[in-house]
Amino acid sequence: MKKVFVNGYGSIGSRIIQFIADDKDIEVIGVGKYSPDDKVADAISRGFHVYVPKAKTDAFKNYKISGAIEDVISQSDLVIDASPGGVGYENKKTLYEPKNVSAIFQGGEKIGGDESVAGLIFNSRVNYEKAFDSKYVMQGSCNVTGMGRILQPLKEKYGKKLKRFDATLLRRWADLEDSKTQVKDSIEWTRKPHHNEDVKSYMGADTPLFIRALKVPTRQMHVHLMDIRFDGPAPSAQEIIDLYKNEYGVATLYNAKGTKDIRDYAESIKFNFKDTNMIHIHADVTEVQDDTVKLTYSDDQTGIVVPENHLLMQAMLFKRKREDAFKHTEELFHMEEKKKLLQEHFAKK
């Protein structure tokens, strides 16, 4: 049985390990913690073995620690790195490469340049099979992942008729559980957002995509305002909405008031971590003007990349057929059921 270690137990790592622990095809060896805080006890109480850096062992003496991260990595077939952005690169150089262990990195890392973690950004809708023979792959960030779910169906249906994608990303300031970051009363702009190059890396360098990104004071999801320009008159809004009807991880909602409305509903029906794990097209504010479709969708920041990591893991460890991998991910994440519930709750009135 393949052994998987999750390095990092923050917003992303804690979700990944919780879901993949139920996967009978792998053995989850444990999780890496770096600070001796409440989350150590939380991980242990959920039945996970916690490993810590050798040099910090003393700081964790009040907890039942299972061993050193440096040692457990040598026993792993795959590490899912869920460290803070940029630290994944350091881990690759100091741990994964020297120990010859495969790894998945998260979207806060870079591909290309001096601190590149991988040659590929994964998006299950676009390049699932490309991960088969890769030792190191980066899972796109939440915004980058959501955008692939929108762009790829458009590209397949309309091809050369698509002239330009102008997207404004309204990014959440911090995550729900992130008590360290204060949400400031400000709107901040991002110079040269990484999302543009990240999306083009898997959609194709010639993708006519232009992104602006603003950070807004909320913890409740991202919203993308995507203007899709056609060469000639644009299709109807209904045609665009129909395009996403059967897309995995895309729900179409009509009467949500805002992102918190969706999060509250997810919490009320006890979705794990209050996550929907998907993007939500807001059909009531999607409009067409001349040659342009103005699409609005929200993106569940922490949830969306978690099933993606599971799909990527299956591609790297088992080279599983794409449709079998999706079926298996569905058994753990129940996204079809979540989509149905969301669409019923936020249906057209």
Ligand X SMILES: NC(=O)c1ccc[n+]([C@@H]2O[C@H](COP(=O)([O-])OP(=O)(O)OC[C@H]3O[C@@H](n4cnc5c(N)ncnc54)[C@H](OP(=O)(O)O)[C@@H]3O)[C@@H](O)[C@H]2O)c1
With respect to ligand X, which residue has the nearer C-beta, 71 or 156? 71
Asked if 82 is part of the footprint of ligand X (rule: CB under 6 A), the reply reads yes
Contact 146, 247 (CB under 8 A): no
Shortest Cβ 300–ligand X spacing (Å): 9
**Strand pairing class (78-81; 2-7):** parallel
Residue 123 DSSP label: -
Give the CA angle between residues 163, 298, 169 to the nearest 5°: 55
Q: Which is nearer to ligand X, 252 or 301 (CB)?
A: 301
Q: Exactly one of 44, 142, 250, 316 is catalytic; which is it? A: 142
Among 5, 6, 7, 17, the residue binding ligand X under the rule CB under 6 A is 7
13-24 core/surface letters (b: 16 or more CB in 10 A; e: else): bbbbbbbbbebe
Residue of the chain from 76, 106, 127, 201 that contacts ligand X (CB under 6 A): 106
Residue span binding ligand X (CB under 6 A) among the ranges 84-92, 224-232, 277-285, 309-317: 84-92
The binder of ligand X chosen from 26, 50, 117, 142 (CB under 6 A) = 142
Taking CB under 6 A as the rule, does residue 124 contact ligand X? no
Give the one residue of 32, 146, 148, 235 binding ligand X; rule: CB under 6 A.
Answer: 32
98 binds ligand X (CB under 6 A): no
Please report whether residue 87 would count as binding ligand X according to CB under 6 A.
yes
Asked whether position 141 contacts ligand X by CB under 6 A, the answer is yes
Give yes or no for residue 76 binding ligand X (CB under 6 A). no
> With respect to ligand X, which residue has the nearer C-beta, 110 or 320?
110
Instruction: Pick between residue 142 and residue 169 the one whose CB is nearest to ligand X.
Output: 142
The yes or no reply on residue 301 touching ligand X (CB under 6 A) is yes
Q: What secondary structure does DSSP assign to 166-226, as a single string?
A: EEEEEEESS-TT--SS---SS-EE-SS-THHHHHHHHH-TT--EEEEEEEES-SS-EEEEE
Q: Which is nearer to ligand X, 19 or 230 (CB)?
A: 19
Q: Using the rule CB under 6 A, give the single segment among 7-15, 60-68, 113-121, 153-161 that binds ligand X.
A: 7-15
Q: Are the CB atoms for 80 and 58 separated by under 8 Å?
A: no
Comparing CA positions, the residue from 130, 102, 104, 143 lying closest to residue 301 is 143
Please list every residue from 169 through 208 that binds ligand X, using CB under 6 A. 175
Which residues, in sequence order, are CB contacts of 154 under 8 Å at separation 6+?
A: 162, 228, 243
Stretch that binds ligand X, among 27-35, 256-264, 274-282, 339-347 (CB under 6 A): 27-35
**Residue 70 in 3-state DSSP?**
helix
Is 61 noted as a catalytic residue in this protein? no
> Of 32-40, 58-66, 120-128, 287-295, which part binds ligand X (CB under 6 A)?
32-40
- Exposure string (b/e) for 276-294, b if CB count within 10 Å is 16 or more? bbbbbbbbeebebeeebbb
Q: Are 300 and 286 in contact (CB under 8 A)?
A: no
Does residue 298 belong to the site contacting ligand X (CB under 6 A)? no
Give the binding-site size for ligand X (rule: CB under 6 A). 27
**Spatial contact of 81 and 104, defined as CB atoms under 8 Å apart:** yes
| H or E segment and range at residue 67 | strand 67-68
Q: To the nearest 10°, the Cα dihedral for 261, 263, 269, 273?
A: -170
- 116 Cβ neighbours under 8 A, 6+ residues apart: 89, 110
Cβ 120 to ligand X, closest distance in Å?
16
CA 198 to chain centre: 13
DSSP code, position 112: S
Q: Tell me if 18 contacts ligand X by CB under 6 A.
A: no
| Window contacting ligand X (CB under 6 A); options: 3-11, 110-118, 258-266, 283-291 | 3-11
Which residues here bind ligand X, judged by CB under 6 A? 7-13, 32-35, 82-85, 87, 91, 106-109, 141-142, 175, 301-302, 305
